[in-house]
Amino acid sequence: MPKYFFMVGFLTFLLASTPALAQDANITVGGVNSGDMTISLDAVTVDAVPALTAVESVDEVPTDLAGDTTTDGTVLEGITVVEPTEIPSAFGMWWRGIREKISVALTFDPVKKAEKLLVFSEERQKLAEFIANIATDEKLRAKATDMMEKAQEQIAKVEALKDKIAADTSERATRLKQNLAKHELNREEMMTRLEEKLPQAQGKLDELRQNGSAMGESLLNALNNDKLPAVAKEQLNAVKTRVQQTAATVRDFIKQKQDLLEQAKDGENANIQEELKQLRDDRKVKMDEVRDEFQSAQDELKATVQQRVQQRMNNAKDEANPVSAETDATESNE
């Protein structure tokens, strides 16, 4: 019997030790009769997603993937991502990982589980940039790439759930799919900023970008099916195209850089540093072009959808007031 009380107490302590994980936890213990014990431990969830009205349904008014941004990324909808305020110690990160694993293990709904993993990934990305911004010690700055690697590990776990998420047609699942697309945009932008702040880690960052792009493309392919509303489908297609174009640019850059380094090793290229710099500059130009094309496509899609919604509202108004609509039409003809 004591071991059961110890288990409940330990789980309660773990969840209560952080507000982010304990906010929705509900632990009850009852039925301690004749040695029997029943334990109810509700899954910890992220913030509830508010219901949409008919006019605001995801089929009519899409999430603006590129427009709703902060200074450090696109904002996810319906979930809360905690901003870092300090660099955690090694023990702090270990303890945080333990709490997160327990939280995920106690969440059985695939969509809610994926939401949590997405939040943990976003928080690792933010921590990576936070470290790169304020750390002065090179050994400490190297943790930034470690955080990005941990962020990708969380998304790998989401990818394992992709079939179940793709089959879910609920509003919450649709929003999750759009948030995952936003996460891909955040990852791309974050990698670009880290490359500027951590030039000494360029090789590792190239590897992380390649792996992240491949994983993101696979995930978006699985989620972007006929079960999605038309507009959400267009949005995910746009993000997937951007991810593919960015990945191709990075692959070309890595191959050309390797060729230049081989030439320098053989003594065939005395201007290696200048050519490497030019190669990096060319890549930046291409990445900016990809970003601008994506933004233009999003602006066009947003304008189209707004026109569509306005037309539906006008039609609904005409149906509700047929006499007024006929009068307007007569006056227009005159």
* CA-closest candidate to residue 250, choices 308, 177, 187: 187
Residues 6+ apart with CB under 8 A from 107: 43, 44, 45, 113, 116
Task: Tell me the DSSP string of 35-71.
Answer: TEEEEEEPPP--SPPPPPPSTT-TTTS---TTTSEET
pLDDT by residue for the chain (334 residues), tens digit each?
Answer: 555 445 545 555 555 454 444 434 333 333 333 333 333 333 333 333 333 333 334 344 444 554 454 445 678 998 899 999 999 999 999 999 999 999 999 999 999 999 999 999 999 999 999 999 998 888 888 899 999 999 999 999 999 999 999 999 999 999 999 999 999 999 999 999 998 899 888 889 989 998 998 899 899 888 888 878 888 888 888 888 888 888 888 888 888 888 888 887 776 666 788 888 888 888 888 888 888 888 888 788 778 778 878 888 888 877 777 655 555 555 555 5
The phi and psi torsions of 126 (rounded to 5 degrees) equal -65, -40
* CA-closest candidate to residue 144, choices 156, 127, 122, 119: 127
Residue 214 token pair: 């491949």
Number of neighbours of residue 214 by Cβ within 10 angstroms: 12
Answer for the pair 64, 72: CB distance below 8 angstroms, yes or no.
no
